């Protein structure tokens, strides 16, 4: 038996210059998802990242190419794709050798382009930091970076999700990242830029890849659908673009799913059913019922959507999104020109933005935001969502407390009716401008039968209000604080307040440096409570009189000096060395005479003062 030898080597299919990965046995071309099939291969194909393209273009033209880039942004905006395009641009070279250096103009596939875009070039190393987090992985890079590239112009290291590296790995990277060889470039990508150490960030040029706007995504999806030969409604494109939330990869995945789901023309209803979304027109009808106070209509609309398979949380979320859209249209009317929204949404948003106040919109948003969280935590989401709708209809258009108080005062107190509240009812509701109801905080108008029952009580004469107390002097004010047993206020008035002037209902004072900052406000409130009338307490720039404590101290010192000057007191002081006067106080007229000549001293001091001596 002869040896047939080794099988012949098949040619590598990758040398053809095509981006396809090859064909399986049998000749059938494998299906590639749209996110991979239409992955950008040059800067011209990147959408929504004009700032990044302009910066890199200028850097390449002027030769100011950094040693490291870090790309950050949400999932699916093109971080890894941009990193590969950078690697391709750094190593772009045509077979004829006409390109001598890095360039962003890449009209066709170069010598290294195919291998770089397929992640199999030996000089372009891609590493997933989520699965290679240790310091040993970084040491391998540090060891290999010193060697020159095998065939390309630069060695390029692309590290995806770089924030997953350990602290030791980051530290091992610092020296190489700061002073790499001239032939080495680093491109990092991350969704969590805050987790990357600042020592790494300071060694890189940072590029923040933006979320792609919905209208830009719609154009991109429309072009891809045309290339794929798929008919799709513009409204369906808008739904997919909004659901992707600025992620190109997510939008292409949703488009792929929608094409498979529809099995023909992709319609908006099919996309809503696929994503579990409520009909936007019906969501707007639900919102209209809420702001008109039509609870029965809102319940009916919500139940119909729920019966057709809409998730209660999704319905509330769509309501919140529409409220946000109306608010933005009210602030910036040009927002209504966004083609990502249907014509019905834009027209009705303009109408609501004209009719509804910012207060109503902001309060509705807050209640929906809280209601979504409550519905998510509820055991019966549909019932919880209905209760959220009830709250919105009853309170979304009520005045704020300060507005209610102001309107009550303007219309004459308790009998005022505030024409701004939303009064939900089961029957057909009038337009928003004609809604008029009593505020929840205002006293309710009694019904006829209730008024009949309360008639005898209402006929009773009202008690006479107590006459207002008049205060005309500062000592009166201090005495009043003592009568009210407010010892803290009394002590503060005596020690920290210097009177400037006082009138009945107005007090002007100067304060000591150690006085309480809230003293003026508290004193005004307490005076109104004690006297039954409003008081104005003002802090003056004038010096004012001395405090009562200082005045009492002066009087005490004067009495002591007068007592000490009396000959009989001097005689007592001389007979008992070390004796001193500790107090001179007034005695009542009927008080008996003291044994030590207190009566005589009282006669000497006008019949009022007596001196206490301390041995």
Q: HEC string of 143-167?
A: HHCCCCCCCCCCEEEEEECHHHCCH
Looking at CATH, the fold of the domain delimited by 280-410 is given as Zinc Finger, Delta Prime; domain 3 (1.20.272)
Is the model's pTM score more than 0.85?
A: no
Backbone angles phi, psi at 517, to 5 degrees: -70, -25
Whole-number pLDDT of residue 372: 92
Better-predicted residue by pLDDT, 52 or 458: 52
How many C-beta atoms lie closer than 10 Å to residue 514's C-beta?
Answer: 7
Looking at CATH, the fold of the domain delimited by 214-275 is given as Helicase, Ruva Protein; domain 3 (1.10.8)
Among 3-17, 318-332, 584-598, the minimum mean pLDDT is found in 3-17
Whole-number pLDDT of residue 410: 67
How many C-beta atoms lie closer than 10 Å to residue 485's C-beta?
Answer: 8
Q: Are strands 506-511 and 497-503 parallel, antiparallel or unpaired?
A: antiparallel
Average pLDDT for the chain: 76
pLDDT above 50 (res 163): yes
User: Would you state the structure tokens that stand for residue 250, as one six-digit string?
Assistant: 């997510």
The CA-based angle 311-315-316, given to 5 degrees, is 120
pLDDT above 60 (res 409): yes
| Mean pLDDT in residue range 585-606 | 46
pLDDT tens-digit readout, 418-451: 444 444 444 433 333 333 333 333 444 444 444 4
Q: How far is Cα 607 from Cα 587, in angstroms, rounded to an integer?
A: 8
CATH of segment(s) 35-208 = 3.40.50.300
How many C-beta atoms lie closer than 10 Å to residue 294's C-beta?
Answer: 21
pLDDT above 70 (res 6): no
User: Would you state the structure tokens that stand for residue 15, as one six-digit string?
Assistant: 């040398």
CB 250 within 8 A of CB 76: yes
DSSP code of 433?
G
Helix 248-262 / helix 234-244 crossing angle, nearest 10 deg: 140
Whole-number pLDDT of residue 460: 43
Whole-number pLDDT of residue 411: 64
So where are the chain's domains?
A: 35-208, 214-275, 280-410, 474-545, 549-614
Torsion of CA 90, 94, 100, 104, to 10 degrees: -40
Confidence band for 17, pLDDT divided at 50, 70 and 90: very low
pLDDT above 70 (res 248): yes
pLDDT above 80 (res 298): yes
Better-predicted residue by pLDDT, 246 or 278: 246
| Mean pLDDT in residue range 583-595 | 56
Q: Does the domain at residues 474-545 carry the CATH identifier 3.30.300?
A: yes
pLDDT above 70 (res 541): yes
Q: How far is Cα 514 from Cα 138, in angstroms, rounded to an integer?
A: 63
Length of the chain: 615
pLDDT above 80 (res 149): yes
Confidence band for 327, pLDDT divided at 50, 70 and 90: very high
């Amino acid at each position: 038996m002869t040896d047939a030898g080794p099988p012949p080597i098949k040619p590598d299919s990758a040398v053809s210059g095509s981006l396809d990965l090859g064909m399986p046995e049998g000749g059938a071309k494998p299906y590639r998802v749209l996110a991979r099939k239409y992955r950008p291969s040059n800067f011209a194909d990147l959408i929504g990242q004009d700032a990044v393209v302009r910066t890199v273009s200028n850097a390449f033209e002027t030769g100011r190419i950094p040693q490291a880039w870090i790309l950050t942004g949400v999932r699916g905006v093109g971080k890894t794709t941009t990193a590969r395009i950078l690697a391709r641009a750094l190593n772009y070279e045509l077979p004829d050798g006409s390109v001598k250096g890095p360039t962003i103009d890449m009209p066709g596939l170069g010598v290294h382009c195919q291998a770089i875009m397929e992640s199999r070039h030996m000089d372009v190393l891609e590493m997933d930091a989520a699965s290679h987090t240790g310091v040993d992985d970084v040491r391998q890079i540090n060891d290999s970076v010193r060697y020159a590239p095998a065939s390309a112009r630069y060695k390029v290291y692309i590290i995806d999700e770089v924030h997953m590296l350990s602290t030791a790995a980051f530290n091992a990277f610092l020296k190489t990242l700061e002073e790499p060889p001239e032939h080495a470039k680093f491109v990092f990508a991350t969704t969590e830029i805050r987790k990357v150490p600042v020592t790494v960030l300071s060694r890189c040029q940072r590029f923040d890849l933006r979320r792609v706007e919905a209208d830009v995504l719609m154009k991109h999806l429309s072009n891809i659908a045309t290339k794929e030969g798929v008919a799709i409604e513009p409204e369906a494109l808008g739904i997919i673009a909004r659901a992707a939330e600025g992620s190109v990869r997510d939008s292409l995945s949703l488009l792929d799913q929608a094409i498979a789901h529809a099995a023909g023309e992709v319609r908006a209803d099919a996309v809503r059913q696929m994503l579990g979304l409520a009909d936007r027109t019906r969501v707007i009808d639900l919102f209209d019922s809420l702001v008109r106070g039509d609870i029965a209509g809102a319940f009916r609309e919500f139940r119909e959507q729920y019966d057709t398979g809409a998730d209660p949380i999704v319905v509330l979320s769509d309501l919140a999104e529409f409220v946000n859209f109306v608010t933005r249209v009210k602030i910036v009317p040009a927002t209504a020109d966004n083609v990502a929204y249907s014509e019905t949404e834009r027209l009705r948003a303009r109408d609501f933005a004209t009719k509804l106040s910012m207060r109503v919109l902001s309060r509705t948003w807050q209640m929906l935001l809280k209601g979504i969280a409550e519905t998510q935590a509820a055991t019966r989401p549909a019932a919880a969502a209905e209760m959220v709708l009830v709250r919105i209809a009853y309170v979304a258009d009520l005045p704020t407390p300060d507005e209610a108080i102001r309107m009550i005062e303007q219309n004459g107190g308790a009998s005022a009716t505030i024409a701004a509240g939303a009064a939900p009812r089961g029957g057909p509701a009038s337009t928003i401008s004609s809604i008029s109801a009593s505020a929840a905080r205002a006293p309710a108008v009694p019904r006829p039968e209730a008024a009949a029952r309360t008639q005898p009580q209402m006929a009773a004469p009202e008690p006479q209000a107590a006459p207002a107390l008049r205060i005309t002097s500062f000592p009166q004010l201090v005495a009043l604080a003592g009568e009210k047993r407010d010892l803290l206020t009394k002590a503060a008035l005596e020690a920290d307040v210097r009177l400037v002037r006082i009138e009945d209902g107005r007090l002007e004072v100067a304060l000591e440096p150690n006085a309480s900052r809230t003293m003026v406000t508290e004193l005004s409130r307490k005076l109104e409570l004690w006297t039954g009338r409003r008081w104005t307490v003002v802090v003056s720039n004038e010096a004012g009189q001395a405090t009562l404590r200082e005045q009492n101290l002066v009087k005490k010192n004067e009495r002591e000096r007068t007592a000490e000057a009396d000959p009989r007191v001097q005689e007592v002081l001389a007979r008992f060395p070390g004796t001193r006067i500790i107090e001179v106080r007034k005695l009542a007229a009927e008080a008996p005479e003291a044994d030590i000549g207190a009566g005589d001293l009282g006669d000497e001091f006008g019949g009022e003062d007596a001196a206490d001596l301390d041995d």
